[in-house]
Amino acid sequence: MHGRGFGPEHRDDGDRLVIAPTTVATLAPSGLPGLDPAWSRVVRTPSGAWHVLDNAAQLTAEPVGTLLCVHGNPTWSYLWRTFVAAATAADRPWRVIAVDQLDMGFSQRTGDTHLLADRVRELGELTDTLGLTEPVVTAGHDWGGSISLGWAVDHPELLAGVVLLNTAVFQPLAERAPAALRPVMVPGVRQAATVTTTGFIDTTLALAHPRLDGAVRNAFRAPYRTAARRAAVGDFVADIPAVAEHVSRPELERIAAGVSELDVPALLAWGARDPVFSDRFLRDLLDRLPHADVHRYPTAGHLVAEDEDVATGVLRWLDTRVAAPAAPVTTPERPPVRLLGATLTERAADNGPALVELHGDTSRTVSWRALARRTEEIARGLAVIGVRPGDRVAVLVPPGADLTAVLYACLRLGAVVVVADAGLGVGALSRAVKASEPVAVIGIERALLAAKAFRWAPTLVAAGPINRRVRSALGVEATLVELSDLGAVSDAELAWPDADDEAAVLFTSGSTGPAKGVVYTHRGLAGMRDAVASTYGISAECSFVAAFAPFALLGPALGATSVSPDMDVTAPRTLTAAALAAAVRAVDGAVVFASPAALAGILATQDDASDDDRAALAGVETLLSAGAPVPADLLLAVRGLLPGAHLHTPYGMTEMLPVTDVELDEILAAGDGPGVCVGRPVQGARVTISALADEGTAVGLPSDEPDVLGEILVTGPHLKDRYDRLWFTQDASARDAGWHRTGDVGRLDADGRLWVEGRLAHVVATDHGVVTPVAPERRVDALDGVARAAVVGVGPRGTQQIVVVVEPDEPAGAGLAEPDLAARVRDALVGLPVPVAAVLVVPGLPTDLRHNSKIDRTRLAGWASAVLAGRRARL
């Protein structure tokens, strides 16, 4: 250790502040939000007196082990308060020791400068003094990550696991320190920002998303009220070993090398919006700990434990990976599968039409032969520019022949296709793509501009024309035409991927929270193809109209000719009746795929359809509408345009599509029920229900008993492999082995049909039972003057009140409904467990951008709560 000197409490010594080693450790003050004063204690070691949070005295059962939590700069043990609370209350409790490093927090101000090696050694002294025994799991944040990992490397006999929150264990000399840190690393600036003023502390606290509560901000500032108490904040910054000659560089390199040898369970819980410890540090840690589990929070930042409930997830991870790790599972040998691209190889000499695209008065037809050749050439071209099997490739190409060729080329090569809907919006789209860590982006010019601006991938490929100067500025590696040319002359042999290799990362729509990456293997995609083919009888002899993008991409896999109608697929309501008829005529289409929003567009324009259009539509044999539960009234209206069609509404989600299927006649025969009847499971799929508790949580074991209300669980050959870098989400969704918890609620009837009644998050938990939203909403929708309605809960779960929000047929302002409408709504909902507390009206119900049909009930509930509390609120 390096002393600062002695004398009064502090004195100016040129560019640094000298602190006398006289300030002792103290207990944390009472009244800090979320911190139980009983956790606070002082522990004396040879190097000084430590303040720690320790829940040992509060545990009523023998702890599983010890979680040793180390903060970074400029926080203190308060950062870990939620971990202490969660571990204390857990069924299998953990002892949590969250330290204040010496000269930080409420630990002793020793007057020494603590370098990285000092802090690792001092932490070892503390654990020796405490007499810790195995198992110990370390947890570190910021520079506390390196220190905790140093302890882990030095104590293999005690170590049972490591948890890391936004940290680094290595700073490559070839790369500059994070931009957010560089200014404060300048000596003169460092002193002013970190010690003389509270600038560094205030800036760190401002990195929270959302903004920290004032009392919490004050709690973080509490140990650092004076310059004398902030000296180590500056020392921590000075100890960043960003250059080769830095005194702490050898220790950092020692720890980094040692981490690569750790074979204990590891968890990386990461805030993706951190301007300091960005994803490049996450990648470095994964290179060193390739077995680590990852949960990447797309909207959280540097203070990830403040932004999200990380503690609950970490406790689940400890139970799963450390406390009771599952025995190794022997995977039975799986049968071979026919890969998605097999049809293209088989039909490589077929000059018949594979794809037809309609754009206004023009059309484009691509033969099987041309598609197979282009796919093979692009696959080889990607290999030439360095894309390897297992690499991820983000594809941002509008639906059509180019997208189809690129998709099947990636699958042929064994690259992993990343698909995210542009309808997410620029911000959410960027978060989704960056989360998947692609090595290349293939996109149109607009997409490549975003890819360059947001640094999505090192390699850019242009799909379609691109301005020469723009290409140069963006550093575009090649165009699709150039890739094809490269592939045409390449003699490289491409091996087919294994059925259980990763094939795709498909992002959810974002309508039920941040978009999630869903990982599929080649086996899973083949299962999806087979489920669609067997359920709807689609084969090489069948042509279909793809007005719903996911099914358009299945055409080549099914061996069926497909046509894309003249519409904006990102805005399904742009599909007109005339455009649908033109698509049907183009290929003599017998099957139509369309979303509910697209059906609404068709119905809205049916009066403009000609006699020829109506004749063409009358020849459609099957309509499938997916993307959201489809009301029977909508299908009945569509039957007027498609009188010869069997009208099907498959139910499914990005994680498994399709799950069930039902035809309109069966919906009508089923009659009114508790929600929307979505039919029976498709071939290979299974559905069970996890019963709801009184407070609206799904706690029951999977059951196929009829009339049990609960969360819908699904499984089948075409179920996702997992969520991508979302360990907590995956663990929660798959806590019943082999099943996926969908987040939807419903029940099975006596005939084995599934009824969907809403989302689990939208269940209203009253003090007289739970209310699901779909059935009461349909009753209100049927009232005169009502366009749509939403049922939401206001108040604490278990005592929520029912509020109905109505979108009238005629435009109206937002607020309380007129007495007549309110009375009619209440009359329509007589029989609910509790009466309707309020009826509100809005000009339009908020919906998600992609489907324009899923009501955002969470947003509505927040607005209704504010309005009923007398606060001004915007919807």
**pLDDT, tens digit (0-9, with 9 covering 90-100), for 662-693:** 999 999 999 989 998 999 999 999 999 999 99
Tokens of 86: 């969660």
Tokens of 327: 């025995």
pLDDT, residue 848, reads 62
Give DSSP secondary structure letters for 38-73. Answer: GGEEEEEETTEEEEEEE-GGG-SS--S-EEEEE--S
Which of helix, strand or coil describes residue 873?
coil
Cβ atoms of 382 and 411 within 8 Å: the answer is no
Query: Taking 70 as the threshold, does the pLDDT of residue 20 lie above it?
Result: no
Structure tokens at 661: 């299927």
Rounded distance between C-alpha atoms, residue 582 and residue 588, angstroms: 10
Residue 849's pLDDT is what?
47
Task: Measure CA 493 to chain center.
Answer: 36
pLDDT at residue 853, as a whole number: 57
| Contact between residue 346 and residue 439 where contact means Cβ atoms under 8 Å apart | no
Query: CA–CA separation, 143 vs 70, rounded Å?
Result: 9
Predicted local confidence at residue 851, as pLDDT:
44
Token digits for 692?
């709801």
Q: What pLDDT, in 10s, does the model give residues 834-857?
A: 999 999 999 999 876 444 457 889
What's the token pair of residue 677? 């009847």
Which strand (E) or helix (H) includes residue 833?
A: none
Q: Phi and psi (nearest 5°) for 208?
A: -75, 145
Would you state the pLDDT for residue 81?
98
Q: How far apart (Å, rounded) are the C-alpha atoms in residues 48 and 111? A: 10
Per-residue pLDDT tens over the stretch 32-64: 999 999 999 999 999 999 999 999 999 999 999
Contact 118, 90 (CB under 8 A): no
Helices (H), 812-875: 819-828, 857-868
Contact 401, 364 (CB under 8 A): yes
pLDDT reading at 348 higher than 70: yes
Task: Give the integer Cα–Cα distance in Å for 136 and 158.
Answer: 6
Q: What is the pLDDT of residue 433?
A: 95
pLDDT of the residue at 327: 67
Tell me the average pLDDT of the chain.
Answer: 92
Neighbours of 574 (CB within 10 A): 17
Cα Rg of the chain (Å, integer): 30
- Domain locations along the chain: 2-323, 368-497, 675-720+733-760, 763-868
Give the model confidence (pLDDT) of 193-241 as tens digits.
999 999 999 999 999 999 999 999 999 999 999 999 999 999 999 999 9
> Please, which contacts does 4-7 make with residues 24 or more away whose CB atoms are closer than 8 Å?
4/111, 4/112, 4/113, 4/231, 5/111, 6/111
- Mean pLDDT check: name the lowest of 68-82, 543-557, 654-668: 543-557
Specify the pLDDT at position 540.
Answer: 87
Read off the pLDDT of each residue in 136-153 and give the average, rounded to a whole number: 98
- The count of other CB atoms within 10 Å of the CB of residue 244 is 9
Least confident of 71-85, 167-181, 447-461, 554-568: 167-181
Predicted pLDDT at 11: 37
Per-residue pLDDT, averaged over 370-386, amounts to 97
pLDDT single digits (tens) 499-542: 999 999 999 987 777 899 999 999 999 999 999 999 998 988 88
Class of 675-720+733-760 in CATH: mainly beta
What's the average model confidence in pLDDT over 800-824?
93
Right CATH number for 2-323 from 3.40.50.1820, 3.40.50.2020, 3.30.110.30, 1.10.1740.10? 3.40.50.1820
Instruction: Quote the pLDDT of residue 16.
Output: 40
Q: In the predicted model, is pLDDT for residue 625 greater than 70?
A: yes
- Helix 368-384 × helix 401-413 angle, to 10°: 50
pLDDT of 469 strictly over 50: yes
Matching CATH number, 763-868, of 3.40.1650.10, 1.10.1740.10, 1.10.10.60, 3.30.300.30: 3.30.300.30
- Using pLDDT thresholds of 50, 70 and 90, give the confidence band for residue 492: confident
Can you tell me the distance from the alpha carbon of 848 to that of 455, in angstroms, rounded to the nearest whole number?
27
Q: Where are the alpha helices (DSSP H) in 572-698?
A: 577-587, 596-604, 611-618, 632-639, 664-670
The answer to whether domain 2-323 and domain 368-497 are alike in fold is yes
In which band, very low, low, confident or very high, does the pLDDT at 614 lie, cut at 50, 70 and 90? very high
pLDDT tens by residue, 1-18: 444 332 233 334 434 444
The reported pLDDT for the residue numbered 8 is 33
Q: Which CATH class is domain 368-497?
A: alpha beta
- State mean pLDDT over 719-739: 97
Distance CA 641, CA 758 (A): 29
What was the pLDDT predicted at 17?
Answer: 40
- Check residue 136 and report its DSSP letter: E
**Cα gap 200→74, rounded to integer Å:** 8
Q: Are 58 and 66 in contact (CB under 8 A)?
A: no
Beta-sheet pairing, 656-661 with 676-681: antiparallel
552 pLDDT above the threshold of 90: no
What is the average pLDDT across 108-123? 97
226 — phi, psi (to 5°)? -120, 160
Q: Give me the percent of the chain exceeding a pLDDT of 70.
A: 96
